[in-house]
Amino acid sequence: MWDHDTLARYQRDGFVLACGLLSAPEVAALNAEMPRLLDIDGDDGLHRERERSGAVRQVYLAHRHSPPYRDLSRDARIVGPVKHIIGNDVYIWHSKINVKDAFEGTVWLWHQDFGYWVRDGVEARFVSAMVFLDRATVNNGCLMVVPGSHRWGMLPHFSDEVTTSYKQWCIELATLRERLEEDMIQPMTGEPGDVLFFDPNLVHASGHNLSPLPRKTVILSYNDVANTPKPVENPRPDWVVSREYAAVR
């Protein structure tokens, strides 16, 4: 549970950065899984997306296939605040390790997660927790957020299929030109073990990793158990829209 002021800050800004939530040994145990999670291809139950260079960009489903990630996804220090924000039990919508290798990791354009998820037959009753697995700096492509932008509501998105190897739903340029001012942008720099809790309508993006430091994070996204997807045309697969609805205990 958070205190009243922390919850009020989350509701005002659309995010809270909780510094030092995980200890160094806990982060080391998560990073020790990385060779296996990144290197094995094939029928290991994980889903991977790659950069155009071939480097791994994302690994989905570590919370089902790796004990330290399974424990993390159920950790009371994360799930407690998530349930407090949502006001109900939650299940894991998906988990993804966003890798951003040194020099190779590429951008995520400005978007709101709900700009994708609205197509999955749900309402915006989610919280995501981004756990920093490396130091996050401006040079290595830390996340950038726009405080308070979750209160703008869902902005128009389009599907960008050219910027990276990966289809991204992004906020239309005309909307960005109208709404976004330079001084609004806040870089989420931090240390391994920090955790960023954020709202599904928070406007966010991140740049290329131009640094010799990798920038790995794992994002655990939780949905209200009362918000399971309604039928839609072309439902997305279970690795990104989980069909396991059991409440996290």
Q: Where do contacts with ligand AKG occur on this chain (CB under 6 A)?
A: 98, 108, 113, 143, 204, 206, 217, 219
- Residue number of the CB closest to ligand AKG reads 206
Q: Count the Cβ atoms, other than its own, within 10 Å of residue 219.
A: 18
Q: In the complex with ligand AKG, which residue's Cβ is closer, 125 or 216?
A: 216
Least separation, in Å, of the C-beta of 47 and ligand AKG?
13
Backbone angles phi, psi at 10, to 5 degrees: -60, -45
Burial environment of residue 54 by CB neighbours within 10 A (0 to 12, 13 to 18, 19 or more): exposed
Tokens of 216: 């790995």
Smallest separation (angstroms) from ligand AKG to the CB of 81: 20
Q: How far is CA 54 from CA 35, 57, 96, in A?
A: 15, 9, 18
Q: What are phi and psi of 88, to 5 degrees?
A: -160, 175
Considering the complex, state which of residue 22 and residue 99 has its C-beta at the smaller distance from ligand AKG.
Answer: 99
Burial (CB < 10 A; 0-12, 13-18, 19+), residue 190, is: buried
Between 85 and 202, CB nearer to ligand AKG? 202
Min. distance of Cβ 248 from ligand AKG in angstroms? 20
Q: How far is the CB of 217 from ligand AKG (least distance, A)?
A: 6
CB of 176 to ligand AKG, least distance (A): 15
Nearer to ligand AKG, 2 or 58 (CB): 58
DSSP state string for 188-232 = --B-TT-EEEE-TT--EEE----SSS---EEEEEEEEGGGPPPP-
| Residue 21 or 205 with smaller CB distance to ligand AKG | 205
